[in-house]
Structure 1
Amino acid sequence: MKPRRRLRPVTALTTALLATVLTACSSSGSDTSATSSPSDGSSISVSHIHGLGIDPADQRLYVATHEGVIAVAADGTATRVGDKADYMGFTVIGARTFLGSGHPAEGSGGHANRGLIESTDSGKTWKTLSLAGKTDFHALKYAHDTVYGYDSTSGILRVSKNRTTWDTRARLAALDIAVSPTDPDTVLATTEQGIARSTNGGKTFAGGAGPVLAFLSWPKPDTLYGIDTAGVLNRSTDGGATWTKTGTVPGGQPQALTAVDAQRVLAATQNGVYESRDGGKTFTEQLPVTTGEGH
């Protein structure tokens, strides 16, 4: 089996303005870590964060990290719910149902790139759906009963209706993608030139324009959120044509962004996971992260 690769050159080396965000995914040595106190009294090491979501089944926050998926209860109790694999692309698509990608836990065997994987028990167990050994999705979005995935191994956008066979769309250097809630053909991507837009389902993209953002989340037709490399949260009500700053997420460089609805926003930065209930004006810490060596 080939050595695990944390970051692919199509994404990292061609996106200079986003390098400070991207390099946080590249370390395989010591990790940024967080210490929490789960119910069994032990501590959980939370490395670099790759994804966030709310499970509608129990309304818990789920955090996809370098070392497993962490569930955070309303009282702040954090528990690892499954293995200690590295979950890169991650999204909650329904009750107890998550999609992911990434790399297996150290020493567990299996393909270095896990392709598209699925959990139907809130992250406790996962099964491979497709592209095992071939693809490491660094961004996954689910809209219009379709999976949109940015394949970091090739820099290609891939799209699937059935989660097993894939259409190959455009090749571009991007960090994150977003899909319009009303139009499956409108896809946005964050690039070093700004936001690249596709109006044909990701087959082609116009050149980047507007603000340089790291991550995007598009929960409602008139609500598109984007966070820049300094943690400044912006909102667009016209699909990305214009943007307004709403606030700044504590903790510096962003690592993940998910807007649950127009008012509820989840963001991970270098030192924690934060939640806003007022559209990004104010944030409260949900899971602390203490920066260590290696990131």
Structure 2
Amino acid sequence: MKVQKKVIFAILAVMFLVLSGCSSNSQNQDEQKQISKAPSKFEIVQAKTINMKTIQGIGYPGNDNALYIAADKGLKIYKDSKWFETTTNLHNYMGFQPIETGFLASGHPQKGTSLKDPLGIVESTDKGKTLKNIAFYGQNNFHFISSSFSGNEIYILNEQQDKNLNYGVNYSKDNGQTWKKSTLKNFNSDSLGMIAVHPKNGDIMAMATRTGVFYSEDNGNTMRLTAGPFMVTALTFDGDRILYSSVVENNTILLNTVDPKTGQQGNITIPFLDQDNPITYLAVNQKNANQIAFTTYKNDLYQSLDGGKNWNTLLKDGKIE
């Protein structure tokens, strides 16, 4: 049995590539403000049970020593071998991106709140208690958001042409105030997928596609294949290296590294994954590179504390193992 195409397409959010001119889109600075305040009952409490039906992003925000999981009903937090959750602000987070001061996200607000739907790009610096509008609030929803760890350079994958933003890859170098479209010169894949940004240099980005990892040092305006050709389902930066998961011959699921400067490749041994359960999200703690985590299509979650030598199963089918 081969990996079903719909599984891979769901992971990559496959779109036909449209090459068009670079343009800009400015955001009213008056809207750069806090858009939500959690009621007084907002707390982060130890979870009695965990049962996540949809995982939509993971990462290690710089303002907490914990692994965050973005789900369709708010944040789940794994810290000190315990699971925690918030008592409110159970938003349907998408495009989750950890940054040094907290996290960026998109998605849809919890029903019953006064927030606009969709969220556009929002930022939280207090572990999800409040949200600040970065861009496109009430206008767009983004499945893929990526940023440097500083949070100033942001990339988004826009799935359709509209009045707010160009179709395809767009980037901002001023924390969402203005936007340009990446021209993707020399990009010869037929799909656009997950974007990763260098933690310190926001001009450097990489993208997962059905034909490998494409790499750019100029905001995606010029691209080159740095690993492939094979299906890549998830990627992130580990310092200057790119950590990525591929599906190769015989539908084997691998976790690899590549240094885009030298082309040097590496392999990290992971627990066996069924061919219909590829890796969906990868995360490296930018303050402790030995901490690595990944999720799978079936909502399994694994974490390593020693750089990938040993792995702990934190979730199986979205439930506590």
Please confirm whether the aligned pair reaches a TM-score higher than 0.5, indicating the same fold.
Answer: yes
Write the letter of the residue equivalent to 2:105: G
Structure 1 residues 23, 162: closer, same or farther in 2, change over 3 A? Answer: closer
1:177 to 164, 187, 195: 195
Mark the CA change 1:151 to 1:52 in structure 2 (over 3 Å): closer, same or farther: same
Give the Cα separation in 1 of the matches to 2:156 and 2:215: 15
Q: What is the rounded CA distance, in whole Å, between the counterparts of 1:152 and 1:173 in structure 2? A: 12
> Residues 165-216 of structure 1, C-alpha deviation per residue, up to 9 Å, x if partnerless?
2222237832211223464433211111212232321124346851421111
Query: Aligned-pair distance for 1:233?
Result: 1.1
Residue 281 in 1 paired to residue 309 in 2? Answer: yes
Match of 1:246 among 268, 287, 292: 268
- Distance in 1 (CA, whole Å) between partners of 2:304 and 2:155 is 26
The CA distance in 1 between the partners of 2:171 and 2:61, in whole Å, is: 25
* Aligned residue runs from structure 1 range 31-42, under 5 A: 39=46, 41=48
Q: Distance in 2 between matches of 1:202 and 1:212?
A: 20
Cα distance in 2 for partners of 1:108, 1:25 equals 31
Q: Work out whether residues 47 and 83 of structure 2, in 8 Å CA contact, stay in contact via their aligned partners in 1.
A: no
TM-score (norm 2): 0.70
2:12, 2:192 within 8 Å by CA — same for their partners in 1? no
What letter matches 2:58 in structure 1?
L
Q: Secondary structure at the match of 1:101?
A: strand
Partner of 2:39: none
Match status 1:64 vs 2:70: yes
For 1:197, the equivalent position in structure 2 comes to 215
Q: Which amino acid aligns with 2:210?
A: E
Task: Please point out which of 234, 252, 271 is paired with 1:215.
Answer: 234
2:261 is the counterpart of 1:234:
no
Tell me which amino acid in the other structure corresponds to 2:256.
N
Q: Could you tell me how far 1:140 is from its partner in structure 2? A: 2.4
- Paired positions, count: 262
Kindly tell me: are residues 51 and 121 of structure 1, through their superposed partners in 2, closer, same or farther at Cα, counting changes over 3 Å?
A: same
User: Does the aligned pair in 2 maintain the 1:69–1:81 contact within 8 Å?
Assistant: no
Q: Would the aligned equivalents of 2:271 and 2:311 in 1 still touch at CA under 8 Å?
A: yes
1:215-269 CA distance string (max 9 Å, x none): 1111312x32101256421112345834322122555322211112543211111
- Determine the structure 2 residue equivalent to 1:263: 290
Larger Rg: 2
Residue aligning to 1:92: 98
| In structure 2, distance between residues paired with 1:218 and 1:240 | 15
Q: 1:107 to 1:181 in 2, by over 3 A?
A: closer
Q: Mark the CA change 1:225 to 1:208 in structure 2 (over 3 Å): closer, same or farther.
A: closer
Q: TM-score, normalised by structure 1?
A: 0.75
Q: CA deviation at 1:111?
A: 4.4
Secondary structure of the residue aligned to 2:10 is helix
- Counterpart of 2:142, as a letter, is F
Contact 2:147 2:196 in 1 (8 A): no
**Relative to structure 2, which stretch is displaced further, 60-69 or 182-191?**
182-191
Q: 1:254 to 1:80 in 2, by over 3 A?
A: farther
Q: Return the match for 1:149 from 135, 140, 156.
A: 156
Amino acid at match of 1:157: N
Q: Does the CA-based 8 Å contact 1:86-1:103 persist in structure 2? A: yes
2:10 aligns with 23
> In structure 1, the residue corresponding to 2:130 is in which secondary structure?
coil
Root mean square deviation of aligned Cα: 3.1
Unmatched runs of 5 consecutive residues or more in structure 2:
14-44, 161-166, 185-189
Deviation at 1:115, TM superposition (A): 1.2
Which secondary structure does the structure 2 equivalent of 1:20 belong to? helix
1:161 is displaced (CA, Å) by: 1.5
Closer, same or farther in 2 for the Cα pair 1:184/1:92, shift >3 Å? closer
Distance 1:217 1:207, change over 3 A: closer
The runs of at least 4 aligned residues of structure 1 exceeding 6 Å deviation read none
